[in-house]
Amino acid sequence: MEKSEVNPIWACRAFPAFPVALVAVGDGNGNNNIITVALVHMFSFNPPVLGIGISPARHSYEMLEASDDFSINIPSKDLVEEVLYCGQRSGRDVNKFEDCGFEPKQGKKIRSPVIEECAVSLECVKRQRVDAGDHVWYLGEVVHAEMAKDADREKSLMYWSGEFRLLGDVIRKR
């Protein structure tokens, strides 16, 4: 296979789409916010540790800096408009829970809320903060999780280069 040198940013665009999550953070006193995140990764299975990449320019960054926890909520394709809204508006200016009709349910083991309307909610306690260029990664240990009986990975949103997508076909099992 013949290859040529390219800008590293262009090569990074060869990655497949990233999973979309709605990250909720709060102070336990009703000051809550939601941010749409496509930089989500599983860093460990045992214990379960998930990471989210957040730009320091975001309002949620300030809230995450002040909080010991956050929730990662996996929206289905039916919530794509709400996902877009939460990614385009700042929590400094609007109440995303109210505007999207989301119910902020108190987490069972964290102060931050979970989003009742998402099929999967993972409660995370911050374990590590990593400065990584234009984003800060927050690694959180999953201390509690809830999943709807009809949760379907195939309906989970993916995002890449301005497009929301669904997962593709299974081409082989191992």
Based on C-alpha coordinates, what's the Rg of the chain? 16
Fold (topology level) of 18-150: Pnp Oxidase; Chain A (2.30.110)
Domain boundaries, the chain: 18-150
From first to last of the 174 residues of the chain, give the pLDDT tens digit. 998 888 888 787 777 778 899 999 998 788 899 999 999 999 999 999 999 999 999 999 999 999 999 999 999 999 999 999 999 999 999 999 999 999 899 999 999 999 999 999 999 999 999 999 999 999 999 999 999 998 888 888 888 888 888 887 776 777
